[in-house]
Structure 1
């Protein structure tokens, strides 16, 4: 296993072996800045350079200080918005109780915990999930890396404490699973900006960037596909929460109301984008850039916070995300130990009383016909395997179009997990059939018309198998109280077009064993990454 190499500042030519994990380095930077909070502490709310932060800007009446009639004002709050800062600056202000709240991702919260947990009073308590990055973050790669497994032993460039570390954790988690025993932890190199990594001249195999960064390096994983990887949240100091619990509850209620109205205002095109650009980008003229930030996120509202706060191990819940991200960041040398982050245990349903927030469960993100066309093009172009993020198979008995769902409970759980992680990717269910009988009949010299009929019969059988698996997956999701976007699951029958035993001169290769026949009686499940601009994908950020 290679050591973590840290390249600091802009002096990229000089490197040094890290003497401490990144969370300890961050803690050292703010050592001695702790001050206690009490009920008189000013309510300063930090912003992040993210479209999610349109919600608190709206909640404050588009002003830095709370405007009359705004959602915050209606809750009796006096809020001062602070323009985006990096994690170090936020943490320093947080420890001094200048801003008792931080706006970060869950990965960033894990990095900050070594500092905040040094004192019980300053420990972070998470109380609100804004939503997810949906295309704002990318892991790009240079030649030779075609899958997450290929990240094994690679060198990856990152900006210290960046939000994209959450996406990197998802990539290495997936790579570890794919590579299994052959996995070697990647080496990380860091710099204040990724400019030199845009070419392959710096010895970096992969690097994290914002999606708008220049360069033509391939995108291995984007938060467009892995749109449940980067979770934007608010945390509050323990002592401030204890002294000001009603204030935090009012803040959440106002945010819920603002989030509901913001989605309507985007649709009706009445958002004050100039003010948003001023708050988030420091330039009121950058309206289009502000709109782009909004298109790259998805707010979650009331139901999203209820799901996020589940303590029973919900698929994309706060505890599960923390555990997954922390395990990867620790393996990468960024965390010295896994911290115990906690939730505020708010009753979101009561705080959101009267807010209508059910429509998002009914929205579809994919056009099935456009998706099938896209998948056909990927198969014909030979690149569908390169776009596959997750893959496993389900097998059938001869001439059977049904199967024991219980036998594949673990695989179905993986399907639900993949659907939650990769909401911007297609979940394809490909049915296949055994070509043995077709080959026997062709060898016997049957007329082409009868052979075509046999092809059609096998195609129908493969379609029935795929449809059976799709129905079982949806039923399994209902049984486990997991909401799925049904448009994301595309079932198709491929008949004998792509047998597991391969093609010979465009036809299925000869089959001689029972094992080979069994291998062909299958359904292949894939999570397939697609381009953000694809006509198959209509993300809910367009509301």
Structure 2
């Protein structure tokens, strides 16, 4: 039997009025579960069905109880891993101090905060970021919904554990920005009985059967043919998975918790090596995370859908100024979930005061700043296909233009500082998206010579010269963006910036019978431009190599 739980956010004068919020329901459901953590409370870590949880499994020697010689054992820890359970079950065990640590996305942490803050001892402190979903979640659209702006006043089906709500929060933020003054109301959320599977009440199944729905938040491997509005491969800095610990347990066992972090850092580094050298015990991973030791291929796919962040990632996440820091993410997600009626209030979540660099204990963690994730040739092919197919505008997350003087490839970069800051923000949110730098040139001289009957050789030379100029303009902008990132201490994958010299093939002033239209005066300046875009790519595109394959 289906249970229809709908959360709506009504906007009145810019204030979100919420009804039936999920944080209230959870708090009421577990109100009698609280028990203080005693001095002898066991160190129990819950697992999730995610590739990220390969790391704690490895740290425990691929066993539920700590194996001799494992990273946890080397830190003198005795850890019990608990196999995956639903959000409410995990919350109940946490409040009873059966598991003093929870494994959550940051959206899930916000959902359970009202329940955990009811008692000072169970208040959450976040202390470790596992990493990001880079393909595990998708927002799929109902028929006829072609862009994110379709979420306006819509209804979205979500699984019972709130998995991926972080992605829906990001999708709503982007949709609201694009819609501008046309935005009326954030989408309502409908919780289904089942998160995944066949034959049950899942978000994908509900989307297929209920024509009142706008979209569904699903796992990427969920069956179904609905188009994808946004995936966590493109929005690869939307879904952050973390550990949180009870305040009373942290106060009593801080040294254990810090040792846990050190062991996880070492395990994360070794796991990436083991994946590369193909010595991971995938059968054990599948058995513990999926309940089926023969499902090793599915376990491998789960690893390809995530990115662990290691030492430097935790340093960035715990900082005050990071573009995707713990506090900034919480603020953005909470605002979106309140507008959707899922949260009744914005909780203030605590972050542990830890020196992650010191806890790293000599772990080498420099590869993220050095390795590339994008194949430039495959990316240009993909962009050409999107442009020819007419859907590049629908996949564009951010767009702005830079104008140039005649025959020049340099520009006053300082005038575009605000635009460059938006690029850095988008690049951190959308590590799986392309940052395209399209150079263009003014076709006026070409059109004039063509009208005079110039030879095809002369016209071809003119097209080549203008293509080279447009490529030089694109490269100039690319280098300026990289320099801006360096000046602001933001690590940017240079392979993510793809330049294209389009010459006069796509003038702003249009084509007339497949050749540039005649232009004059101020119109010429419109064509001397670079168009900068942040473009979402398909989840299985060859242009992007997930970081877990490094």
- TM-score by structure 1 length? 0.94
255-264 or 367-376, which deviates more: 367-376
Shift in alpha-carbon separation, 1:16–1:250, aligned structure 2, 3 A: closer
Indicate if the aligned counterparts of 2:138 and 2:228 stay in contact, CA closer than 8 A. yes
Indicate if the aligned counterparts of 1:459 and 1:495 stay in contact, CA closer than 8 A. yes
> What is the aligned partner in structure 2 of residue 135 from structure 1?
135
Distance in 1, Cα, partners of 2:219 & 2:98: 29
Structure 2 residue 124 is matched with structure 1 residue 124: yes
User: Per-residue deviation at 1:15?
Assistant: 7.1
User: Per-residue deviation at 1:531?
Assistant: 2.5
Within-5 A mapping of 1:329-408: 329-408=337-416
> What is the aligned partner in structure 2 of residue 86 from structure 1?
86
Indicate if the aligned counterparts of 1:198 and 1:216 stay in contact, CA closer than 8 A. no
Structure 2 residue 205 is matched with structure 1 residue 196: yes
Distance in 1, Cα, partners of 2:448 & 2:485: 41
User: Per-residue deviation at 1:16?
Assistant: 9.1
Distance in 2, Cα, partners of 1:201 & 1:64: 41
Structure 2 residue 535 is matched with structure 1 residue 524: no
Shift in alpha-carbon separation, 1:276–1:488, aligned structure 2, 3 A: same
Indicate if the aligned counterparts of 2:305 and 2:546 stay in contact, CA closer than 8 A. no
Within-5 A mapping of 1:467-506: 467-506=475-514
Distance in 2, Cα, partners of 1:187 & 1:127: 32
Indicate if the aligned counterparts of 1:105 and 1:230 stay in contact, CA closer than 8 A. yes
Distance in 1, Cα, partners of 2:541 & 2:64: 38
> What is the aligned partner in structure 1 of residue 163 from structure 2?
163
Indicate if the aligned counterparts of 2:446 and 2:459 stay in contact, CA closer than 8 A. yes
Deviation readout 1:220-249 (Å, 9 max, x if unpaired) = 111111111111100001111111100100
Shift in alpha-carbon separation, 1:30–1:11, aligned structure 2, 3 A: closer
> What is the aligned partner in structure 2 of residue 534 from structure 1?
541
3-state DSSP of counterpart to 1:495: coil
> What is the aligned partner in structure 1 of residue 288 from structure 2?
279
Structure 2 residue 222 is matched with structure 1 residue 213: yes
3-state DSSP of counterpart to 1:526: strand
Shift in alpha-carbon separation, 1:195–1:475, aligned structure 2, 3 A: closer
User: Per-residue deviation at 1:201?
Assistant: 4.1
User: Per-residue deviation at 1:160?
Assistant: 3.3
Distance in 2, Cα, partners of 1:360 & 1:251: 23
3-state DSSP of counterpart to 2:460: helix
Structure 2 residue 40 is matched with structure 1 residue 31: no
> What is the aligned partner in structure 1 of residue 312 from structure 2?
303
Distance in 1, Cα, partners of 2:117 & 2:439: 52
> What is the aligned partner in structure 2 of residue 187 from structure 1?
188
Poorly superposed stretches of 4+, deviation over 4 Å: 14-19
Structure 2 residue 88 is matched with structure 1 residue 50: no
Distance in 2, Cα, partners of 1:120 & 1:394: 53
Distance in 2, Cα, partners of 1:317 & 1:93: 28
Within-5 A mapping of 1:70-85: 70-85=70-85
User: Per-residue deviation at 1:491?
Assistant: 0.8
Distance in 2, Cα, partners of 1:402 & 1:524: 15
Distance in 2, Cα, partners of 1:168 & 1:16: 14
> What is the aligned partner in structure 2 of residue 225 from structure 1?
234
Segments of 5+ residues of structure 2 without an aligned counterpart are 9-17, 194-201
Instruction: State the Cα RMSD in Å.
Output: 1.7
Deviation readout 1:227-281 (Å, 9 max, x if unpaired) = 1111110000111111110010000001011111111111111111111111111
Distance in 1, Cα, partners of 2:337 & 2:206: 21
> What is the aligned partner in structure 2 of residue 264 from structure 1?
273
Distance in 1, Cα, partners of 2:449 & 2:154: 50
519-528 or 436-445, which deviates more: 436-445
Shift in alpha-carbon separation, 1:200–1:388, aligned structure 2, 3 A: farther
> What is the aligned partner in structure 2 of residue 10 from structure 1?
2
274-283 or 393-402, which deviates more: 393-402
> What is the aligned partner in structure 2 of residue 6 from structure 1?
none
Distance in 2, Cα, partners of 1:116 & 1:146: 39
Indicate if the aligned counterparts of 1:434 and 1:517 stay in contact, CA closer than 8 A. yes
Distance in 2, Cα, partners of 1:511 & 1:331: 47
User: Per-residue deviation at 1:345?
Assistant: 1.5
Within-5 A mapping of 1:61-76: 61-76=61-76
Deviation readout 1:484-506 (Å, 9 max, x if unpaired) = 11111101111111111221211
> What is the aligned partner in structure 2 of residue 439 from structure 1?
447
Distance in 1, Cα, partners of 2:29 & 2:35: 15
Distance in 2, Cα, partners of 1:19 & 1:328: 15
Distance in 2, Cα, partners of 1:246 & 1:15: 43
190-199 or 424-433, which deviates more: 190-199
Distance in 2, Cα, partners of 1:16 & 1:389: 27
Distance in 1, Cα, partners of 2:410 & 2:24: 54
Segments of 5+ residues of structure 1 without an aligned counterpart are 1-8
Distance in 1, Cα, partners of 2:205 & 2:285: 31
User: Per-residue deviation at 1:195?
Assistant: 4.3
Deviation readout 1:135-181 (Å, 9 max, x if unpaired) = 11000012322222232222211123422101101111111111111
Distance in 1, Cα, partners of 2:110 & 2:414: 37
2:432 to 415, 419, 424: 424
3-state DSSP of counterpart to 1:199: helix
User: Per-residue deviation at 1:410?
Assistant: 1.1
3-state DSSP of counterpart to 1:80: strand
Indicate if the aligned counterparts of 1:157 and 1:191 stay in contact, CA closer than 8 A. yes
